[in-house]
Amino acid sequence: MLTSREIIETLGTKFGKQILKAEEKVSNQVFVTIVPDALMPVVCFLNQALSARFLINAATDRREQDGRYTVSYIFSFDREKIFLCIQVAVDSTDPNIGSITPIIAGANWSERETRDLVGINLRGHPDPRRLVLADDWPQEIYPLRKDFPYDYKPPSEPQNKVPLKKPPKGTKVIPIGPFYPVLEEPAYFKLFVDGETIVDCDYRGFYSHRGIEKMGDSKLTYNQICFIAERICGICGFIHSTCYCEAVERAAGIEVPLRAHYIRTIMLELERIHSHLLWLGIAVHIIGFDTLLMQSWRIREPVMWLCEKISGNRKTYGMNLIGGVRRDIPSSIYDEIVRVVERIERQTKEVIDAVMDDTSLHVRLKDVGVLTKEVARDICTVGPTARGSNIRIDSRVDHPYAAYDRIDFEVAVESGCDIWARTLVRLKETIESVKIVKQCLLEMPDGPIMGEVMEEIPAGREAICCVEAPRGEAIHYVLTGQDNRPYRWRVRAPTYANLQCVPHIIKGERIADVPIIVGSLDPCYSCTERMAVVDVRTGIEKICTKEEVIKR
């Protein structure tokens, strides 16, 4: 078990003068500044010798402060409960940096995003195509630079369309998308098939950018961002707002009352219950088992009503603010909460008992979409996708937030590596969440629900927060700034990490299994694509008017 001090010392003795600065800015969060040339060896050392797990990187335009860009690579030491942030300053006249994707495959998207949005060129990236920006976005215009106005609409340049991969010899192309029919979300998969078998695939997504990060650092204030963060995802909204709030609170050193922590924990777990039941319904709907869809959604509905009663809305709770929560859970409804979650536990167990021996489910789910432990590690997958492949990571335990450091629960891990294993992980977690909610209600202390917030949050502080969403861990990095708003706010949703493993897990499978394999990751495209700025319509696409639709 390394401590923060030992990590700093280890890096110091190994790399000596290449480490420019190292400090523990927030408890258990180490920020290390290194010279650009040392990036490769440091990342190699962290990944191989210290087995740190890569989370995201975030580029910040800091030309106003010191005339340079900063790229932060965030790593996690899971057992040690420590975040390590490696920062590199990049010269602004010719911004370029060596790519770490050859060492860590999971850094692929994150690095391309840095290039697309802040304009830091990558040396040695294996797949340097455009990822985040729209097909007709002009070259050399980078939306997350500070000199780019948030409402600027650049002229369309359709010639910049991203070339998709050429199909391998002897294969046919089958497109799925751009509107993915099964999950009712925009994503485009181009499958290369040989007969029925998938040989390879290419993905083009990021159709639903909404420029949330740009809004956050140019227009909104700290407390307004809580609400837009909640709208990053339609299912795990509260997770994002909690994650953002905790990141700001950690950066600014704001004490949050214990009761507020407990209330956040309860809401997070209620959200996990309804998300997992929703996923179960959709997953079995994909394979045509609608009976279970109806039943799992029926079981889910009372949670939504309960949340509506607690927060005033069934999905967007709007309860988080910097420093605490806005609504208390009155003791008069404790009993009702217990009753509802216990009924859900009972009914979920009944359903599990009924479908466990259903051979038609086994045929569709067992040994399909196999994600081996090695690939899962390499791609840096998170959440149930990783836990189904026998990787014991759960940020509720690894990086405790809210009141999770006071709560006992088990992390569900399965070693099957297939869709069935991921299903079992989610079902076990649903039952575990019920326990957590009940334990919270028992232990929740009385007291204030909103902490004291200082008049102004000081600029230049930074912190990371990691919250375990039903799909995996959501990560928010916040660098505080002037004018009551963050200077940089970087969001990574769990699907961002998980979706990158799709080419690996559909290789060798049959076409008919693709929907359920992709569905087994519980993908959430709007989460993943929270970013960029303008609309994504290319010049080629035609938009139908209402009248035209009616005429058809």
Partner 1 sequence: MFISKLKQALICLKAGRVTLPYPYKPTAPPEGFRGRPKIDIDKCIGCAGCANVCPSRAIEVTDFDEGWRRIQFHLTRCISCGRCEEVCPEEAVRLTDQFELSTNTKEDLTVAIEIYMDTCQRCARCFKPQHPLDKMMVTGFRK
- Binders of partner 1 among residues 454 to 483 (CB under 8 A) are none
CA distances 312 to 59, 232, 306, 328, 419, Å, are 37, 19, 9, 12, 36
Which segment (58-66, 82-90, 223-231, 433-441) binds partner 1 by CB under 8 A? 223-231
* Smallest distance from partner 1 to CB 305, Å: 8
Interface residue with partner 1 among 102, 305, 373, 458 (CB under 8 A) is: 305
Are 461 and 482 spatial neighbours (Cβ–Cβ below 8 Å)?
A: no
Full strand arrangement of the beta sheet holding 188-194: 172-176, 188-194, 197-204
- Written as six digits, the tokens of 249 are 């609170």
Tell me how far apart the alpha carbons of residues 310 and 314 are, in angstroms, rounded to a whole number: 9
Asked if residue 122 binds partner 1 (CB under 8 A), the reply is no
Total residues interacting with partner 1, rule: CB under 8 A: 34
- Of these, 220, 270, 277, 437, which contacts partner 1 (CB under 8 A)? 220
Residues paired with residue 190 on neighbouring β-strands, in sequence order: 175, 202
With respect to partner 1, which residue has the nearer C-beta, 206 or 222? 222
Judge contact between 158 and 134, C-beta under 8 A.
Answer: no
318 binds partner 1 (CB under 8 A): yes
Which member of 55, 132, 212, 228 binds partner 1 (CB under 8 A)? 228
- By CB under 8 A, name the one of 63, 68, 326, 510 that touches partner 1: 326
Nearer to partner 1, 291 or 538 (CB): 291
- Cβ of residue 358: shortest distance to partner 1, in angstroms? 4
The answer to whether residue 226 forms part of the interface with partner 1 (CB under 8 A) is yes
Q: How far apart are CA 450 and CA 198, in angstroms?
A: 54
- Determine which residue in the list 6, 23, 255, 350 makes contact with partner 1, applying CB under 8 A: 350
The secondary structure of residue 321, as a DSSP letter, is E
| DSSP-derived secondary structure for 244-288 | HHHHHHHHHTPPPPHHHHHHHHHHHHHHHHHHHHHHHHHHHHHTT
The distance of closest approach from Cβ of residue 308 to partner 1 in the complex, given in angstroms and rounded to an integer, is: 6
Nearer to partner 1, 362 or 507 (CB): 362
Distance CA 339, CA 343 (A): 6
Of 159 and 360, nearer to partner 1 (C-beta) is 360
Q: Which is nearer to partner 1, 119 or 486 (CB)?
A: 486
214 vs 377 by CB, closer to partner 1: 214
- What's the closest the beta carbon of residue 313 comes to partner 1, in angstroms? 5
The token pair at 7 is 């990590």
Build a one-symbol-per-residue string for 354-383: x at contacts with partner 1 by CB under 8 A, - elsewhere.
xxxxxxx-----------------------
329: contact with partner 1 by CB under 8 A: no
The CB-of-312 to partner 1 minimum distance in angstroms stands at 4
The residue among 378, 396, 395, 377 whose CA lies nearest residue 386 is 377
Among residues 45, 150, 227, 334, which is the contact residue for partner 1, using CB under 8 A? 227
In this structure, the chain runs to a length of 552
Q: CA-CA-CA-CA torsion for 443, 444, 446, 448, nearest 10 degrees?
A: 150
Tokens of 413: 């891990």
Please identify, using beta-carbon distances, which residue of 97 and 306 lies nearer to partner 1. Answer: 306
Collect all residues with Cβ–Cβ distance below 8 Å to 288 and sequence separation of at least 6. none
- Cβ(388)–Cβ(421) below 8 Å: yes
Using the rule CB under 8 A, give the single segment among 189-197, 349-357, 372-380, 399-407 that binds partner 1.
Answer: 349-357
- Give CA–CA dist 527/533, Å, rounded: 15
Listed ranges 9-17, 303-311, 368-376, 521-529: which one lies at the site for partner 1 (CB under 8 A): 303-311
Shortest Å, Cβ 146 to partner 1 = 22
Q: Which of 295, 385, 520, 528 binds partner 1 (CB under 8 A)?
A: 295
Q: Decide if residue 235 touches partner 1 (CB under 8 A).
A: no
- Does 328 bind partner 1 (CB under 8 A)? Our answer is no
Choosing from 162, 294, 454, 544, the residue that interacts with partner 1 (CB under 8 A) is 294
Least CB distance to partner 1 at residue 142 (A):
26
First to last CA, the chain: 65
Asked if 66 interacts with partner 1 (CB under 8 A), we say: no
C-alpha 179/C-alpha 422 separation (Å) is 25
In angstroms and rounded to an integer, the radius of gyration of the C-alpha atoms of the chain is 23
Cβ-based nearer residue to partner 1, 238 or 496 = 238
Tell whether residue 151 is a contact of partner 1 (CB under 8 A).
Answer: no
Residues 6+ away with beta carbon under 8 Å from 184:
none
Contact residue for partner 1 among 19, 351, 419, 531 (CB under 8 A): 351
Which residue is listed with tokens 């990560």?
Answer: 475
Residue 271: both structure tokens together:
């959200």
3-state secondary structure of 328: coil
- Only one of the segments 48-56, 111-119, 219-227, 441-449 lies at the binding site for partner 1 (rule: CB under 8 A); that segment is 219-227
- Confirm if 468 and 396 have CB atoms less than 8 A apart: yes
Asked if 229 and 241 count as a contact pair (C-beta separation under 8 A), the reply is: yes
Q: Residues 246, 252, 256, CA angle at the centre, nearest 5°? A: 50
> Considering beta carbons, is residue 292 or 475 the nearer one to partner 1?
292
- Tell me which DSSP letter residue 275 carries: H
- Please, what is the minimum distance in Å from the beta carbon of residue 307 to partner 1? 10
545 lines the binding site for partner 1 (CB under 8 A): no
List residues near partner 1 by CB under 8 A: 220, 223-228, 231, 291-292, 294-295, 298, 301, 305, 308-309, 311-313, 316, 318, 326-327, 350-351, 353-360
